[in-house]
Amino acid sequence: MAVQNIKELEVYKKSYRLAMIFFEVSKRFPAEERYALISQGRRSSRSVPMNLREAWAKRRYAAHFVSKLTDCDGENSETDTSLDFARDCGYITIDEHADMTALNHEIGKMLGAMIKEPEKFLLTPDS
């Protein structure tokens, strides 16, 4: 049976989970990062599941679907850099970084597979 709701897709679940993890760990960051790393990391991590929702709504049109997935991939890459900064600034532990980065890379691979074969997810006249 085909996926009916974006929330059923593992890539959505994982990206939402990563955004929530980043939100929680960023509460420990120093105040001077409020408008820098906290804001930017929260925004980019949240943009992945949000853009996935938008892509899902546009899956009747391959070009629009892939465009939104590409946006997701870019935001996911940005989140990866935020995680590196958080580690290198001492705001998260090496283990937290490893776990979050592993999840981030899984998401990237899943998005790459969707971009490579969008037809598996597109709506057809019969759907």
Please state the rounded mean pLDDT for residues 9-32.
98
Spans of all domains in the chain: 8-119
End-to-end alpha carbon distance in the chain = 12
Q: What is the pLDDT of residues 41-74, one digit of tens each?
A: 999 999 999 999 999 999 999 999 999 999 999 9
Tokens read off for 19: 């955004």
Q: Does an H or E element contain 56, and which?
A: helix 39-57
Please state the rounded mean pLDDT for residues 90-113.
99
Where residue 124 falls among pLDDT bands split at 50, 70, 90? confident
Mean per-residue pLDDT over the chain, rounded:
96
Contact between 70 and 114 under an 8 Å Cβ cutoff? The reply is no
Where residue 4 falls among pLDDT bands split at 50, 70, 90? confident
Where residue 34 falls among pLDDT bands split at 50, 70, 90? very high
CATH architecture designation of domain 8-119: Up-down Bundle (1.20)
| pLDDT for 3 | 78
The percent of residues above 90 in pLDDT, for the chain, comes to: 92
- DSSP sequence for 79-115: HHHHHHHHHHTTSS-HHHHHHHHHHHHHHHHHHHHHH
The percent of residues above 70 in pLDDT, for the chain, comes to: 98
| pLDDT for 127 | 61
User: In terms of pLDDT, which residue wins out, 72 or 127?
Assistant: 72
